[in-house]
Amino acid sequence: MDTQQPQNQNIALFQTDKFLYISGLALLLFVGLFTGLLGIWQYVVFGQKTEWLLRVLHSHGAWIGVIIILLASAKFILGEAHKKVYLVGASLIGVGATMGFFLYSLYSSYKWDFIETSIVRIHTHLIFYSVFLLLSLSLLKIINASEKVKKAIIVLYGIVLFGLLVGQSLFVFKGITPLFGAVFESAIFLAHLIVIYQLIKFLRKQLSGEEKVFGVFWLYSFVMIFLLTAVGVSMMLTMVAPHQILTEHGLYWYDKNVAGEGVFKAVEDLHLSPVSWFTSGVAISLGLLALRIPITFQVFALTLLAVAPTLNAIGRIAKILSTILPDAGYQIFGNGIKFGIAVLWLGGQPLKVFIVSTVLIYAIWWIRKSRITN
């Protein structure tokens, strides 16, 4: 395998914390992805819903792994110039996790329906937004975007986080519609568009092969994240009053009781699952670039890191169509498990396990090889 690296003139090279990177990959693989495979096996073979504990291990283990992978590189990329942003972002990730436990305690005690909704909104979205802030700023620093652009991203995410915390707090404790906070949260779309535009500008430069590979992967991932984040807006627009919760009082095709588990769950999964996968792929790519891994392996890894969540998204769209079109949809797309292209959302998980396993093994081998060579 060719170990010669092309000279990069358009990206800022950086380091990664090798121990954190390997630890994050291992956690993502063993706690996150393997528990997901176990849940799929239980679902397909026995036709049973995955146990609550297994779902928690899958989602939380995977996201903790992604956060560790991101932090391993982001602290070197952002450096002293954006040290405060890094610390605030990392702290808000912890706040998001804590708020999940706090709201769950309230829900267990009082059974307020809109607290159940806010558990997902504050707990997951505060973590999502904080990770996107660090990820976006990291990419902009790597491709040498202007300071003006970086400041704009920081300001926009400040608005987004303000909207989430204030809007959901008013929703839970004062009964004010969450659409108030959603107006501020919509700034995330502008932030994503800025990153997408800067990546397009980057790809127009005279780039090396390695720079093109990473630039295309980052651009594709952020475009998909932008589109899949917009799916969440369709759910938010159904929440016009505190007593109207998504799972029971949204548009008619969000009803849980329509066509089995209902379209709402399929839409929610389309919103959350592929976004998480694309986010983890971008975080993993930072380590691949920092470790100076050969371009042959980079192309292989980034291709599969893009294909896996794409299959997941296509399968989940087919799942939605098979649910809202009970006749034609079922015939064309299947029931999402036994036949039809809706099964693709299951097929993406084994592929993700394979590529993360491969990256973990190769990264360990490459680090050892580099130490011996040096």
* pLDDT score of 131 more than 70: yes
CB atoms within 10 A of CB 217: 23
Local confidence band at 47 (pLDDT 50, 70, 90 cut-offs): low
**Residue 339 CB contacts under 8 Å (≥ 6 apart), including other chains:** none
- Output the pTM of the full model: 0.87
* pLDDT score of 123 more than 70: yes
* pLDDT score of 97 more than 60: yes
- Return the biggest CA–CA distance within the chain: 64
| pLDDT the model gives residue 2 | 41
* pLDDT score of 248 more than 80: no
Task: Find the mean pLDDT for residues 302-311.
Answer: 95
* pLDDT score of 255 more than 60: no
Q: How far is Cα 207 from Cα 11, in angstroms, rounded to an integer?
A: 9
* pLDDT score of 98 more than 90: no
Q: How far is Cα 96 from Cα 82, in angstroms, rounded to an integer?
A: 21
Task: Find the mean pLDDT for residues 20-33.
Answer: 93
* pLDDT score of 339 more than 70: no
